[in-house]
Amino acid sequence: MDVLELAKRRGFFWQSSAIHGPISGFYDYGHVGTMLKRKWEAAWRRFFLGLGETFYEISPAVLMPEQVFRASGHLEHFVDPIVKCRKCGHAMRADHILESILKESFEGLPPKEMDALIRKHKITCELCHGQLEEVALVNMTFPVTAGTGKDARTAYLTPETAQGAYVNFKQMFEVLRKRLPMGLAVVGKAFRNEIAPRNALVRMREFTQAELQIFFDPETITAHPRFADVETARLRLLPAAHRHAVQETTAQDAVASLGLPPFYVYYLARIQEFFLQTLGLPPEKFRLKELAGEEKAFYNRFHWDIELQLGIGWKEVGGLHYRTDYDLSRHQQVSGQSMEVGEGRKFIPHILEISMGVDRNIYALLDLCAREEQDRAVLAFPRRLSPFDAAIFPLVRKDGLPEKAREVQAALEQAGFSTFYDSTGSIGRMYRRMDEIGGPACVTIDYDTLKHQDVTLRDRDSMQQVRVPIARLPDALRRFLDGGDLGTLGKPLH
């Protein structure tokens, strides 16, 4: 199945400003994609904000003063390796072109070593096969002038949502009555001037992140009060020392064998729970991959990526980073404002960051949930994440069936469900359209509905159908969306 073609045809996403000639790395969401994205974000909020009593979402600005990014290190270190073709001028990320040809990761390799590999393997331009220039580094931040005249200041579009949490830490710490650990979540836009955006939503220049920054006393990293809840969970890990295959080990064993602190492993386990249980993704398509040495940012003591196996290979969709006190220390140094907390023993809090790319996760859902069957294409989204909870179809557009269908739709909407109404085509064709959008349930209003005040409820995946009284439909649909077996919710049709 061509996921990008389906995404465009059914209203998920497409390149931005296409009528004027699009700029690569920018995408717009249609109505169906927007609904899917909002549901994913809502699931993320429910799960991760529920992990701590003092975990809250904030909404910082996306345009910040230059000093913020001087403190964060983005102006100095936020660079990617670029290589240009001497013949046609085409620019590529050096590590990506090496990876595509040599089939291994070169992220973090110094430019001189990348350049040596390019010469050794006689790698040329991917477009015209011209000779490549030497590898250089380019900063990916977007500078902006804020204000006019003598009030003009250099500012930057934030390349990550994390800085919004860091610059608001001290104020939020006071507001939340000086309690640690404290979690500040941001679900918002970030901007990176990528050298070569590719794979649609996987690598963009404007994208959405969902991040939770957990501020804590570094002396407490050796324990987590709820570690017992996850200690027997079997984690799918790919340690840096054993990259040949995923190792399944309990959280408790990960602490002992990998030297990871319980505080860190607790959140590794919760991340896996979110993907495998909340999102319902196949375990074999999920892994937690350790980054070590030059692969990880210099300030990260521990760094494990969240990876999903897609049609384009294993792709990172997020990560868990132990950033130590680097961020708050830098902001203290540049701003002159103290970030120390504590009475008696003063310390700068350390930070554990849960970071996920929302758009990458949306692309992954489409990729992992798309399937083709003999006579239909299906997006088998987890039921609670599907853009619409249910579609409402009158069997025909006459004899009072459309009016009755609208009554049923209104009742479901009033009960809190998102619905889709369609009467344009045969019932089979309407089912197929909804299967492609990923709606988990279809409700059909027919002539028996007028006689018996019941409807047909259809399961997208099994195509099983049952008759359900209208009065019980909201309860039956709610139970179905929560994972209930359709056969137990009504009278089966054969």
Domains of the chain: 30-76+144-368 (3.30.930.10), 79-139 (3.30.40.230), 380-492 (3.40.50.800)
DSSP string, 366-419: HHHHEEE-SS-EEE---GGGSS-SEEEEESSSSTTHHHHHHHHHHHHHHTT--E
Query: How far apart are alpha carbons 12 and 30 in whole angstroms?
Result: 5
Which amino acid, 339? M
Look at residue 155 in the predicted model and tell me its pLDDT.
Answer: 96
State the helix-helix crossing angle for 262-273 and 251-258, rounded to 10 degrees.
Answer: 140
Helix (H/G/I), strand (E/B), else coil: 429: helix
Look at residue 165 in the predicted model and tell me its pLDDT.
Answer: 98
Look at residue 90 in the predicted model and tell me its pLDDT.
Answer: 92
Q: With contact defined as beta carbons under 8 Å apart, do 69 and 75 qualify?
A: yes
* Closest to 420 in 3D by CA, of 28, 35, 37: 35
Look at residue 420 in the predicted model and tell me its pLDDT.
Answer: 96
Residue 393 to residues 82, 154, 296, 423, 461: CA-CA distances in angstroms? 53, 55, 52, 6, 18
DSSP 205: S
Helix (H/G/I), strand (E/B), else coil: 271: helix
Q: How does pLDDT run along the chain (494 residues), one tens digit per residue?
A: 788 999 999 999 999 999 999 999 999 999 999 999 999 999 999 999 999 999 999 999 999 999 999 999 999 888 999 999 999 999 999 998 999 899 888 887 889 999 999 999 999 999 999 999 999 999 999 999 999 999 999 999 999 999 999 999 999 999 999 999 999 999 999 999 999 898 999 999 999 999 999 999 999 999 999 999 999 999 999 999 888 899 999 999 999 999 999 999 999 999 999 999 999 999 999 999 999 887 888 899 999 999 999 999 999 999 999 999 999 999 999 999 999 999 889 999 999 999 999 999 999 999 999 999 988 999 999 999 999 999 999 999 999 999 999 999 999 999 999 999 999 989 999 999 999 999 999 999 999 999 999 999 999 999 999 999 999 999 999 999 999 999 999 999 87
Look at residue 292 in the predicted model and tell me its pLDDT.
Answer: 86
* Closest to 24 in 3D by CA, of 143, 189, 198, 159: 198
DSSP 459: E
Q: Provide long-range contacts, Cβ within 8 A and 24+ apart, for 477-482.
A: 477/389, 477/390, 477/412, 477/417, 477/441, 477/443, 478/415, 480/383, 480/440, 480/441, 481/383, 481/384, 481/389, 481/440, 481/441, 482/383, 482/384
Look at residue 294 in the predicted model and tell me its pLDDT.
Answer: 79
**Backbone dihedral angles phi then psi of residue 209, each to the nearest 5 degrees:** -115, 150
Look at residue 104 in the predicted model and tell me its pLDDT.
Answer: 85
Helix (H/G/I), strand (E/B), else coil: 157: strand
